[in-house]
Structure 1
Amino acid sequence: MNYYALFAQLLELTTALLLAPILNGWVNQCRAWLQNRSAPPLLQTYYTLSKLFHKDVLLAHNASSLFRATPYVTFSCMALAAAIVPTLSTELIFAPAADAIALVGLFALARVFIALAGMDVGTAFGSLGSRREMFIGFLAEPALLMVFFTASLISQSTSLSTIVTTLAHRDFVIYPSLAFAGVAFTMVSLAENARIPIDNPTTHLELTMLHEAMILEYSGRHLALIEWAACLKLFAYSCLGLALFFPFGIPEAADPASLAIASVILIVKLAIGGFLLALIETLSAKMRIFRAPEFLGTAFLLAVLAMLVHLLLETGK
């Protein structure tokens, strides 16, 4: 057994679990500063999770076992997704399973469970949020797959580790297709994480709720796990974007020195990415849900254009 690879995998999972709430707090801080408001503490998400874990769970009388299991399934899917995205090293125990299509399947599995749980109790808001969640997912997943296919055409593999190794550790080549794919990925990431302009994570108005509408019936540790899973999803998408489009600093080795340097580089890149996310949210306005097909349709077309640019202009590089 490669103990370095095992250590790197455990470190990556631990880093994801610890940094995901901090990344969410950093984005909230940056957005508050850009809007000239008083910023919440960086560790505010930790305080909220701790408070929720210490509260009792209240369940509706007609809640099924699926409603009870969904927080654990969703959290597990997001933790596994964050663990298989190569952020600190490409030499990981889960590297053979870190397939781009499998990653999309993990996101889809979590979405299906949270949507079913939203409808399980039978409230109007839960059903509304579930329909909107599946509507957004139906539009976002094809665009995300096209982004992955562009990267896989460059590396001749759908393995995330192989893709990162190809882009980061081989001869430097400029791929114009990745520029189109990067814009498409950003648009998909905003939609998948319920951020502006698709959703507003800070509101509970029924006309704008998407993610929040599905979890109104949750409380206590169940709500804490769902909120933590949402932070992990944002972290996974952020790390995925960095791995695909800014892979420098991700070593092939898994020795302690390389992991220490990669950890510092990852924190710096996440800090910059979190600020840019807050800037996008500050400069954008929440769009109507009926405009979402145009937004995500544009992302899909950009992703397809990225594939065509690679096939027509970059083949043979």
Structure 2
Amino acid sequence: MRNALGYAAVVGQVVAVVAGAPLLTGWMRLVRARLEGRAGAGVLQPWRDARKLLRKEPVTPVGTGPAFRVAPALLVATTAVAAALVPLLSTATPVSGHADLIVVVALFALGTLALALAGLDTGTAFGGMGASREMTVAALVEPTILLSVFALSIPAGTTNIPAIVADALGQPARFASPTGLLAVAALAVAVLAETGRIPVDNPSTHLELTMIHEAMVLEYAGPDLALVELGAQMRLALLLGLLSSLFVPWGIATGASWAALAAAPVLCAVKVAVLGALLAAAEVCWAKVRLFRVPELLAGSFLLALLSVSASYFLNGAS
């Protein structure tokens, strides 16, 4: 029964991320539109856009190689594997032992690298520019994610993410400590950068001076573009889910209980929807920072993550 429950949790996590990611994007667009005084296109609009793109003929630019053709599928695949590892619904799954912090971050980095290589493979100025900017951002974001979660792993004594979440469920006061506050601030900024949101990037513009992610995918069309957009939406949903699992872990199943597993998707959807609404509301009030100020912002988040690790080490060493 435990194995059946674990496999059901893994399948549920992957299905929830794949099917719910476009809905999350539509929800965030709707919240932003309402705050700006517009009606909005509706929550299901990303699925309508994907259906329209899937009906079109794929177009491959002349001179591109395997990197351009493989990148969309690799982006979706790496995110789906990460979704199976991150404890969104349950901490007791058959793959929990492999859900190490470094493995999950490496999967995110592999998807980023695939898109950067695809941008370079086109041989266009926009593709090279976007790839260069993306790798600059990734060089600061990935260490920040590692340090933020590592700060939470020190009290648990392991870098296994399900074990960190299970340990945190028994000590809710930990989130109000200096370690928790610094780590959540650093990880929140890293999520904004990793998903290409304001103030680091603007996903709704193609202006040359501002775009990072969009510059790498300008040459995609049809089903390939649908996969790229789905991969980006999945990364956003998964990172918000990781943020909620680490800092608001209540509702995640920890034992062999079908009732707890049945309630976990609802609670996870509510937490991610709230985080998405807060992010959309913040984007209405924020302005995108200048490109040359982005490294300063990310360096600040890295410093917060480093301080959270130091605080965790000294506080747990003192106790």
Counterparts of 1:8 and 1:258, CA distance in 2: 11
Counterparts of 2:303 and 2:75, CA distance in 1: 30
Q: Sort the Cα spacing of 1:171 and 1:109 in 2 relative to 1 into closer, same or farther, 3 A.
A: closer
Residue in structure 1 matching 2:185, options 183, 186, 193: 183
Residue in structure 1 matching 2:220, options 218, 226, 236: 218
The 5 A counterparts of 1:138-217 are 138-170=139-171, 172-173=173-174, 174-217=176-219
For 2:291, the equivalent position in structure 1 comes to 289
Stretch of structure 1 that moved more, 74-83 or 156-165 = 74-83
Structural RMSD (CA): 1.3
For 1:59, the equivalent position in structure 2 comes to 60
In structure 1, the residue corresponding to 2:134 is in which secondary structure?
helix
Deviation at 1:175, TM superposition (A): 2.9
Counterparts of 1:37 and 1:231, CA distance in 2: 22
Q: Sort the Cα spacing of 1:134 and 1:91 in 2 relative to 1 into closer, same or farther, 3 A.
A: same
Query: Which letter does structure 2 place at the counterpart of 1:305?
Result: L
Deviations 1:37-58 (A, max 9, x none): 2211101110111111111101
Structure 1: state its 5+ residue gaps. Answer: none
Stretch of structure 1 that moved more, 8-17 or 181-190 = 8-17
Structure 2: state its 5+ residue gaps. Answer: none
Query: Which letter does structure 1 place at the counterpart of 2:36?
Result: Q
Whether the 8 Å contact between 1:203 and 1:209 is mirrored in structure 2 is yes
Deviations 1:61-88 (A, max 9, x none): 2111121111111110111112211011
Whether the 8 Å contact between 2:9 and 2:90 is mirrored in structure 1 is yes
The 5 A counterparts of 1:245-256 are 245-256=247-258
Deviations 1:159-179 (A, max 9, x none): 011000000135754532010
Query: Which letter does structure 2 place at the counterpart of 1:214?
Result: M
Stretch of structure 1 that moved more, 164-173 or 47-56 = 164-173
The 5 A counterparts of 1:1-317 are 2-170=3-171, 172-173=173-174, 174-315=176-317, 317=319
What's the TM-score, normalizing by structure 2? 0.96
Deviation at 1:316, TM superposition (A): 5.3
Query: Which letter does structure 2 place at the counterpart of 1:92?
Result: T
Query: Which letter does structure 2 place at the counterpart of 1:236?
Result: L
Counterparts of 1:294 and 1:92, CA distance in 2: 39
Stretch of structure 1 that moved more, 254-263 or 297-306 = 254-263
Whether the 8 Å contact between 1:89 and 1:254 is mirrored in structure 2 is no
Query: Which letter does structure 1 place at the counterpart of 2:190?
Result: V
Query: Which letter does structure 1 place at the counterpart of 2:194?
Result: E
Aligned length: 317
Counterparts of 1:12 and 1:187, CA distance in 2: 24
